[in-house]
Amino acid sequence: MAIYPIRTFGDPVLRTNAVKVSDDVASLERLVSDMLETMYEAPGVGLAAPQIGISKRVFVADIGEGPFIMVNPEIVDVSGSWTFDEGCLSVPGFYWPIKRPGYAKARGFDIEGNEIEFEGDELMGRVLQHEIDHLNGMLLLERLPRRAKKQALRDIREQSLGLVDRP
């Protein structure tokens, strides 16, 4: 299995809508296996294919209850509100209070093409929304209020110039 490098803020693949998956099961199994290994090594709780430079609508996640995958997922329901300090493997070392719906339900497919649904409150709902945002070419920075986004971009720029010590 290969561990892929995770693409970070500034990489154009992170701003592109991923294409629907129509791969055969064998190639999809290999991709998902490599993505899980990459996610666990990072470590993270979710990883979308664009984060490893592959523009396909697939993500893997594990919020502590075992791994799951979704192929061609879409959010079909959200409700409530929950603000949480959210981070991203593609913007390493940073966390911001992001307000999102507290509950989300997503519908997609498993690697064999069977329809599946995942839903949940708080962390599960957030992971579903966050990873599907990646598939839609959106980073968590887009979820910040304007002033907070401007500050976040300054902080990222300072870190990349070595002006700030961050992991």
Give me the active site residues, please. Answer: 131
User: Residue 100: how many CB atoms within 10 A of its CB?
Assistant: 22
- Closest C-alpha to 140, from 81, 103, 89, 106: 89
Residue type present at position 17: N
Read off the tokens for 143. 């979820």
* 53 C-beta neighbours (distance < 10 Å), count: 13
